[in-house]
């Protein structure tokens, strides 16, 4: 399948743009202006490092969109348009290319975004750079936390890092845990609808995909607050069983994993009940894991300070 056929497939998937938009087929894409701030995020997926064994190309395509969506979720912004630049190796079969493109379509449908442009190239490995665009004048920043607020997270942590240990390091899970751990790797679920609903109620927020500990340290540093963590946001029994069987620590799996597309946020104490009620009403959870404290920007748990450590490319 050559570039022209790939562009044809992408164009079909993009469909007819709304009035005032210019989409695939001209030199640039144009979105009708809105006066609100233009919100942008790019995220590059590379086959070698971001597509673990057993992940289908369709899942990889969806994941490449999910990674950007997760940042929009944390900022409370609804994404509208997507650009997808791809590098495709000659060795990739036509069926695999179609599958990858279907995955972009899955993401577009799931999160309600419209493809408006991109670029198609040959490369030695599959490379997908997604750019998501939206409009908002109310972006929840990383820097807005104040001392005396609650630290809360969506979802569970540790399951994705367990899944990656199963796939990459041969860790042995029980069958039920295996299923949910692999699902969290293959089909990540950024909390977009929840993030948008919560936006006005969070003082700061960050996408957790570089790891929970990194998020906590980043928010603490950028907001100029300290943090005291009281509990780990995970399903304790299943994580403990998996960690024990395989010689890991639950703390490492939960704090230093990454690839989890959850929201790490701070909320005023008076606002937490309302925020949690919103989450419950959507079938989601928002778990309080600690409290922000006066500066300096140290993050502690059980009296020890947590390492500021997460996934670093090229380390």
- Subset of 51-80 contacting a copy of itself (CB under 8 A): 71-72, 74-75, 77
Instruction: Find the binding residues for a copy of itself in span 211-230 (CB under 8 A).
Output: 222
C-beta of 14 vs 29, nearer to a copy of itself: 29
What is the size of the binding site for a copy of itself (CB under 8 A)?
Answer: 71
Q: What is the C-alpha to C-alpha distance for residues 22 and 73, in angstroms, rounded to an integer?
A: 26
Stretch that binds a copy of itself, among 1-9, 55-63, 148-156, 164-172 (CB under 8 A): 1-9
Shortest Å, Cβ 94 to a copy of itself: 10
Chain residues 10-49 in contact with a copy of itself, contact rule CB under 8 A: 20, 22, 25-44, 46, 48-49
The pattern of x and - marking residues 129 through 148 that bind a copy of itself according to CB under 8 A reads x-x-x-xxx-x-xxx-----
122 binds a copy of itself (CB under 8 A): yes
Please select the residue that binds a copy of itself; options are 8, 119, 146, 230, rule is CB under 8 A: 119
Query: Cα–Cα distance between 180 and 196 in angstroms, integer?
Result: 26
Q: Token pair of 189, please?
A: 């679920």
Q: Which is nearer to a copy of itself, 14 or 301 (CB)?
A: 14
Quick one: which of 133, 65, 46 has its CA closest to 103?
65
First to last CA, the chain: 36
Do 164 and 185 contact (CB within 8 A), yes or no? yes
Residue with tokens 């569970």: 156
Which of 65, 69, 101, 127: binder of a copy of itself (CB under 8 A)?
127
What is the enclosing helix (H) or strand (E) of 17?
none
The H-or-E segment that residue 221 falls in is: helix 212-223
| CB-based contacts of 202, cutoff 8 Å, min separation 6 | 76, 140, 144, 265, 266, 267, 275
Instruction: Out of 8, 54, 95, 124, name the contact with a copy of itself by CB under 8 A.
Output: 124
Which is nearer to a copy of itself, 225 or 250 (by Cβ)? 225
User: Smallest distance from the beta carbon of 151 to a copy of itself, in angstroms?
Assistant: 17
Residue with tokens 């540790």: 158
Q: Is 108 in the site for a copy of itself (CB under 8 A)?
A: no
| Per-residue CA distances from 119 to 4, 79, 80 (Å) | 11, 20, 19
Overall size of the chain counted in residues: 315
CB of 157 to a copy of itself, least distance (A): 18
Measured from the CB atom, is 74 or 267 closer to a copy of itself? 74
Q: Which of 17, 103, 105, 117 binds a copy of itself (CB under 8 A)?
A: 117
* 99 near a copy of itself, judged by CB under 8 A: no
Q: How far is the CB of 275 from a copy of itself (least distance, A)?
A: 19
Closest to 123 in 3D by CA, of 156, 147, 100, 153: 100
Residue closer to a copy of itself by CB (options 87, 290) is 87
Beta strands 286-293 and 150-154 are antiparallel
270 binds a copy of itself (CB under 8 A): no
Question: Rounded to an integer, what distance in angstroms lies between the CA atom of residue 52 and that of residue 38?
Answer: 33
Quick check: 51 and 60 in contact, CB under 8 A? Answer: yes
* Count of alpha carbons within 13 angstroms of residue 282, beta-carbon side: 18
Per-position x/- string for 173-212, each x denoting binding to a copy of itself as judged by CB under 8 A, each - no binding: ---------------------------------xx-----
């Amino acid at each position: 399948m050559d570039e022209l056929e790939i562009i044809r497939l992408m164009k079909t998937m993009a469909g007819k743009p709304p009035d005032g938009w210019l989409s695939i087929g001209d030199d640039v894409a144009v979105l009708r202006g809105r006066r609100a701030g233009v919100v942008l995020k790019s995220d590059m997926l590379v086959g070698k490092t971001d597509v673990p064994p057993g992940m289908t190309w369709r899942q990889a395509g969806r994941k490449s969109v999910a990674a950007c969506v997760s940042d929009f979720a944390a900022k409370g912004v609804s994404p509208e348009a997507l650009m997808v630049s791809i590098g495709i190796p000659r060795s990739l079969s036509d069926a695999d290319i179609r599958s990858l493109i279907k995955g972009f379509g899955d993401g577009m449908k799931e999160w309600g975004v419209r493809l408006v442009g991109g670029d198609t190239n040959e490369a030695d490995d599959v490379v997908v750079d997604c750019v998501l665009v939206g409009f908002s004048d109310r972006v929840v920043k990383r820097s807005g936390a104040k001392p005396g607020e609650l630290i809360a997270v969506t979802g569970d942590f540790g399951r994705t890092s367990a899944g990656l240990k199963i796939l990459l390091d041969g860790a042995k899970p029980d069958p039920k845990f295996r299923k949910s751990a692999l699902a969290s790797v293959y089909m990540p679920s950024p909390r977009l609808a929840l993030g948008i609903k919560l936006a006005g109620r969070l003082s700061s927020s960050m996408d957790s995909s570089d790891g929970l500990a990194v998020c906590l340290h980043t928010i603490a540093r950028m907001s100029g607050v300290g943090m005291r963590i009281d509990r780990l946001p995970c399903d304790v029994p299943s994580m403990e069983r998996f960690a024990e069987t395989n010689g890991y620590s639950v703390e490492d799996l939960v704090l230093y994993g990454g690839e989890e597309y959850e929201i790490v946020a701070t909320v005023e104490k008076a606002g937490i009940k309302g925020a949690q009620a919103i989450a419950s009403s959507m079938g989601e959870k928002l778990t309080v894991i600690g409290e922000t404290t006066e500066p300096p920007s140290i993050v502690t748990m059980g009296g020890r300070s947590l390492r500021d450590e997460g996934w670093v490319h090229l380390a």
